[in-house]
Amino acid sequence: MRISTQLMMDRSLGRLQDRLSSVERTQSRLATGKQFLVSSENVGGMNTALALRSERAGVAQANKNAEDGRTRVNLADSRLQQILTAMRRARDLAIRGASTLQPAERDAIAKELSSIQEQVVSLANSDYLGQGLFSGFSTDEAVKKVGAVWTYGGDSGAVNRRISESEVVQVNVTGDEIFGFNDSDDMFTMLDQLITDVQAGDTTAVSNALDSIDTATSRIDLGLSRLGAVGNRIETTIGRNLAVDESLRQQLSSTEDVDLTEAILELKTQEVALQATLGAVGRAIQPSLIDFLQ
């Protein structure tokens, strides 16, 4: 009789421990919102979750690169738009300067052209996070005057950004090309000469400068076209990255997130089973005490 009672109690206590463990696991799942807390509970699910997290991290980094590239492209585009506007104003002034004017009028035009040149130089030397927008890889100013000679202080480095797993884009244009230094016909030297010709009243030279201004604006337009194309590509890729990330997030959620409604029902069922087991343990203990007292 004592052996039978002891065996019954041991079995009841074993079931009680199992019930308590089940309740504890379900409570932990509800608290963390995760289906499994350690890999041993679901090796395949844990490995899948780790792989999905790794993919999401890659997409997040690519999107960070893309957003950085977008900021840089938009800033460069804005600066070139301002330079283009300034050069169009310089063309209007050159047209006026090509006609017969009084000295005071020529001086006023030359003064405004000088102001435009200063503005364009400042815009050309714009930077983004300490790096010249139009200087390639160089941190030096894109445009500077050494003595009487305008020079390009940057290089022809292509600044690239990986914006997705398979896409790398160039997010810069360089001043050696768009400002005319590669062709030994830079716009800053041209503006110097235009100012001199206006002051001297050389209407023929001023008129001829219109072609040089048009060439300069064409180069800027080319730079704007390239930046615009890259900007559109980046925007498209950012949208695609966000869609991919959302898909991965949903896959990750279905892999590791707990179904709250299901888990709550499971917990209630387990609590009922626990109460029943506690009752069974109580009934098993009573005869054991009597046997002990006897």
DSSP 233-266: HHHHHHHHHHHHHHHHHHHHHHHHB--HHHHHHH
Q: At what angle do helices 187-200 and 43-97 cross, to 10 degrees?
A: 20
Question: What does the alpha-carbon distance between residue 35 and residue 262 come to, in Å, rounded to a whole number?
Answer: 11
Sequence length of the chain is: 294
Confidence of residue 101 (pLDDT cuts 50, 70, 90): very high
- Digit-coded pLDDT (tens) for 115-145: 999 999 999 999 999 899 999 999 889 999 9
Higher pLDDT, 213 or 31: 213
Phi then psi for 50, rounded to 5 degrees? -65, -40
Question: Average pLDDT in the 181-206 region?
Answer: 95
Report the Cα 162 to chain-centroid distance in Å: 10
Confidence of residue 183 (pLDDT cuts 50, 70, 90): confident
Locate the DSSP E strands across 59-196. 127-128, 131-132, 143-146, 149-152, 160-162, 168-170
| Residue 49, pLDDT score | 86
| Residue 1, pLDDT score | 43
For the chain, percent of residues with pLDDT exceeding 90: 64
Question: Average pLDDT in the 251-257 region?
Answer: 78
Segments making up each domain of the chain, as ranges: 2-33+267-293, 52-251
- Digit-coded pLDDT (tens) for 16-61: 666 666 666 666 666 666 666 665 667 778 788 889 999 999 999 9
User: Average pLDDT over the chain, rounded to whole?
Assistant: 86
Three-class SS string for 20-88? Answer: HHHHHHHHHHHHHCECCCCHHHCHHHHHHHHHHHHHHHHHHHHHHHHHHHHHHHHHHHHHHHHHHHHHH
CB atoms near residue 213 (< 10 Å): 21
Higher pLDDT, 40 or 182: 182
Residue 143 DSSP symbol: E
Is the confidence at residue 293, as pLDDT, over 60? no
Fold annotation for 52-251: f41 fragment of flagellin, N-terminal domain (1.20.1330)
What global pTM score does this model have? 0.77
